[in-house]
Amino acid sequence: MSQIVGINATHEIWIALERNFSTVSKARIMQLRLQLQTAKKGRQSMLKYLFKIKKIVDNLSTIEEYVTEQDHILYILGGLGYEYNSFVMSITSHTDAPNLDDINSLMLAYESLLE
């Protein structure tokens, strides 16, 4: 609130608040986008990994920064380990790209095959 101390006009207060929250939103967007780009499955279960990615995508949506379904899928595939290389190749080589629900189901099934 120190940004509005000493400001008299309502319009000036509005501009100062908007500028302040805009900066916070941009920083938050960058933080969430970076989390999305660097997310890795690692040793967590596939279900936890998929929820982790979904949570980041949902958080971006709440600040009106939308991730397309295709990008959502690419972020998921990009964070998988080498043991998923054949799965990723089979998905990315299809001319008809599966939707997000299909990817989630296929990945959970593939994980059970690896166990």
**pLDDT tens, residue by residue, 73-102:** 999 999 999 999 999 998 888 878 889 999
Determine what percent of the chain is predicted with pLDDT higher than 90: 59
The answer to pTM > 0.85 is no
Which residues neighbour 13 within 8 Å (Cβ) at sequence distance 6 or greater? 4, 7
> Can you tell me whether residue 51 is helix, strand or coil?
helix
Tokens representing residue 1 in the block: 């609130």
For residue range 21-32, list pLDDT tens digits in order: 656 578 889 999
